Every structure is written in C-alpha cells, then in structure tokens.
C-alpha cells in the first residue's frame, strides 16, 4: 500500500504534467484537471490551478474580431453593359471597349438611372437610386470618343456657345422619345457632361407623396408658391406634377419659362405655352415682362436667381397671377432670408412687406433612400402664410420662422426634421437618417 506522502507526490507529478501540457498550448487541460482529481479538489495546493489557467482561452478570443474585410468591399456597384462594341486588339494584346450615345441612353433606361456622367480621360458612370456606379469594361473615354458623343447631342450653334461660354445647358430628345436635360462643360481643360433623364410620364402629386394641403393652393387666383431644395432634391419633378395637376383640373392659360424645357406638356383642360430661355426668349427679365401681356393665369419659372427675377415675379403676383417657381435653398427660413438678401440693402424693408403680402407657400424638400433600399422618398417642409408668419417676415426675424411653423402644425405646416421623424417612426427611413435633419433653434 502507498502511504499518503506517495499519493500526494503522484498527484503533484500529475499536476506538473498537466501544467506542461497547458504551457504547450493544448486547450483541453481545464476539463482534464477537474475530472482526474475529484478527491483532492479541497486541498489548497491543487485548487488554484484551474483558476490560474483560465485566462488563456480569453487571450485567444480577439482573433475573430480581426476580420473587417467583408465590410471594406468595393465602394461602388459595377454595371456591365450587354452590347458594347469591341475595338480591335491593340499592340498590347488587350481588347478595348467603346460606347456610343445610343448605348449610353439604352443603358440608362435599362438600369433606371437618373443621370449619365462622362468626361474625356474618365470612366462612364450612372447614378442609380442616388448612388454613382461605374460602367464595367469600358475604357476611359478618349477625346475622339467624347467628341463623337457630343456631336450627336449639340447643333453647330450650341457648339459655338459651348466654346465661347465654356458650358451650356440644353434639352435633348433621343430618337426613342426619351428626353434629357444636358449640361456640357469644361474641367481641367477637357470636355465633360452630365445628362439627366426626364420621365416621359409625370408622377401625380399623390405618387410623389406631396401632402394633400399643397394641392389645395393650386387653384388660387394669385400668389407666389416656391418649391425649394438643394440640387437633385426633386424640385423639378414636384413643379411638373403641380403644373400637370392644374392642366388636368382647371381651365387656365399656363405659361412656363424654362432653362431648358425639360418636359413637353400636352394641353388638357388648360392651354400650356412653353418658352425656353435662349431660344424662345433672350433673357428671363424680358420673358417675365412679356408674361404680363400674354394673358396667362399661371406662370411657372424654373429658377429664381436674381433680384430682377424675384421683383418681376412679385409684379406678376400683384397683377393677378399665380406664380410657381423654385429656389436652391434648404428650408423655409433660408428661402425667405435668401429672397430678401437678393434686394439692395435700401430696398429690403419694402421687399419684406411685399413678400409677406404675396407669398402663399414654401414647399422645401429633400430626397432620402428608403430603409428597404427600394428607392428614394421625399422629406418635406411646408409653410403656409398666416398672420404670425407674415409678422415674422415683415420684421425680418427669419430665425423665428421655424418656431412659427411648429406652432401652426394644426394648419398643416411641418418642419423637415419633424417630417423625417414621422417617416422614421413608420419604418420608411432609419432613425440615423432622420437625425440628419435635426436642427436647433436659430439654425
């Protein structure tokens, strides 16, 4: 029989072996130790061993965290056109690809893109669902290839204007009937262009999600309605839907002053006269002055850019016209402040009074991607005139407009951040997206 000292010595030797195994990196040792020495688990010499060995599995755990590669995927989605002609092999043995205007247009339609981007020495890209994506397997455009595309777009007269002004805006209708708003320009001494596709069918006010109370102001006899937002926020589409709503529902003469004409309307209940700056009218100033003598009920102006533009619009309102126009401003407060700032300093008090009297509504908007990535949705800010808002404008306290809008929620007014919050509550956009519109007082 073994005495107690021998038994203890064997267990110590056993623990020594197990510790050696652990130190060699074998991970099952805590289980083996606990099972092999049940009769000695209460001795002070043996108990601490499993506790000391515990941290080793924890040390090995950070390894799975070091795998960020799936997040850092390519930044842009790649589109591959199906019928791009191949150029014969070059001396390097590689096959280059080229693309024509017809194929660019067809690709834009197929991918439901809003814009086409092209430039000399650069890649062709589309904007799909608000994101830029590149066309795969197309070489960077050479000067000759870009000239071929541009010669299909512009007339000789427009080409001369492009060379003189270094940029040009115009409308273009492809042979398949699809229309584009085209901007050609120079960058780094080389030609470039952007083509924005114009929908053949104008969405209705309901389709665009424009609040119902906006529709109610479109049958007014006179007043100024401003649709505002940054570039690409959908202002043009909103204005087109307003004009088409009047066209379908009221017997009026609608005059549009556009640069360029984007959508060609068909007369329904109304008569629609469309004039393009540079072609049908030399300047906006002359076109607006002529509008008073053209027996129009409704005048639409593509964009207000100057003091003269705004002053002429107010003159039209004051002579009994309903005027719909756009400005590149962010919200109602910035829009009113921007209107007043167009005037010379000595005329601003008078301008504030006229704006308070003539303005009917400001519809500010932005576009944001839906949470399910099924497309874009508009976020609106709505301001309608009441006595409180008129007083704020007359006094020039524009920072108070936001509070005045919030106080008039029962009149159908809403700030953009509140509208975004409601969309987030409905699960249409994310809370993070909604928080981007949050603003403090005075902003």
Q: How far is CA 219 from the centre of its chain?
A: 30
Q: 300 has which bridge partners?
A: 256, 324
Q: 181 has which bridge partners?
A: 171, 196
Q: How many CA atoms lie within 13 A of 442 on its CB side?
A: 0
Q: Render pLDDT for 151-180 as a digit per residue (tens, 0 to 9).
A: 999 988 889 999 999 999 988 989 888 899
Tokens of 131: 């994101």
pTM metric for this prediction? 0.73
Q: How far is CA 31 from the centre of its chain?
A: 58
Q: How many CA atoms lie within 13 A of 435 on its CB side?
A: 3
Tokens of 311: 């002053």
- 203, 230, 209: which is closest to 130 by C-alpha? 230
According to the model, what pLDDT value does residue 278 have? Answer: 87
As its CATH architecture, domain 78-198 has 2-Layer Sandwich (3.30)
Strands (E), 161-308: 167-173, 179-187, 190-198, 223-228, 253-258, 271-276, 298-301
According to the model, what pLDDT value does residue 127 have? Answer: 92
Q: Render pLDDT for 297-322 as a digit per residue (tens, 0 to 9).
A: 999 999 999 999 999 999 999 999 99
| Euclidean distance between CA atoms 125 and 136, whole angstroms | 9
Element (H, E) at 126: strand 125-128
According to the model, what pLDDT value does residue 51 have? Answer: 47
Cis peptide before 43 (omega within 30 of 0): no
According to the model, what pLDDT value does residue 99 have? Answer: 77
Q: Domain 212-435 belongs to what topology?
A: Rossmann fold (3.40.50)
The list of the chain residues with pLDDT below 70 reads 1-98, 440-443
According to the model, what pLDDT value does residue 440 have? Answer: 53
């Amino acid at each position: 029989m073994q005495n107690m000292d021998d038994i203890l010595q064997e267990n110590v030797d056993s623990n020594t072996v197990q510790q050696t195994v652990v130190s060699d990196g074998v991970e099952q040792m805590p289980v083996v130790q606990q099972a092999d020495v049940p009769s000695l688990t209460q001795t002070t010499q043996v108990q601490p061993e499993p506790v000391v060995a515990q941290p080793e599995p924890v040390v090995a755990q950070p390894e799975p965290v070091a795998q960020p590669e799936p997040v850092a995927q390519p930044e842009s989605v790649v589109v591959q056109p199906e019928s791009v002609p191949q150029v014969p092999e070059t001396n390097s043995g590689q096959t280059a690809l080229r693309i024509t205007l017809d194929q660019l247009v067809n690709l834009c339609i197929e991918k439901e893109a809003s814009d086409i981007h092209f430039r000399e020495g650069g890649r062709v890209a589309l904007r799909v669902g608000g994101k830029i994506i590149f066309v795969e397997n197309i070489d960077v455009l050479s000067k000759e290839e870009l000239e071929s595309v541009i010669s299909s777009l512009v007339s000789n007269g427009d080409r001369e204007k492009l060379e003189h002004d270094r940029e040009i805006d115009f409308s273009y209708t492809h042979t398949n009937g699809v229309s584009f708003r085209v901007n050609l320009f120079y960058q780094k001494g080389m030609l470039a262009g952007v083509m924005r596709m114009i929908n053949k069918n104008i969405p209705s006010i309901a389709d665009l999600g424009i609040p119902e109370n906006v529709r109610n102001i479109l049958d007014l006899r006179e007043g100024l309605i401003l649709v505002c937002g940054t570039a690409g926020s959908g202002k043009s589409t909103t204005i087109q839907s307003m004009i088409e709503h009047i066209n379908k529902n009221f017997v009026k003469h609608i005059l549009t002053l556009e640069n360029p004409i984007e959508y060609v309307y068909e007369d329904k209940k109304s008569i629609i006269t469309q004039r393009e700056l540079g072609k049908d009218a030399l300047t906006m100033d002359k076109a607006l002055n002529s509008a008073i003598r053209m027996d129009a009920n409704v005048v639409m102006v593509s964009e207000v850019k100057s003091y003269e533009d705004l002053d002429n619009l107010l003159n039209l309102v004051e002579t009994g016209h309903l005027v719909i126009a756009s400005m590149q401003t962010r919200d109602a407060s910035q829009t009113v402040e921007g209107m007043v700032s167009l005037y010379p300093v000595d005329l601003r008090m008078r301008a504030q009074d006229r704006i308070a009297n003539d303005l009917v509504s400001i519809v500010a908007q932005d576009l944001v991607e839906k949470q399910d990535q099924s497309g874009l949705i508009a976020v609106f800010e709505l301001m309608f005139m009441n006595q409180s808002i008129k007083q704020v404008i007359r006094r020039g306290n524009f920072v108070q407009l936001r509070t005045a809008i919030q106080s008039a929620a029962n009149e159908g007014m809403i700030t953009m951040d509140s509208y975004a919050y409601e969309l987030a509550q409905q699960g249409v956009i994310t809370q993070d997206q909604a928080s981007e519109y949050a603003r403090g007082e005075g902003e």
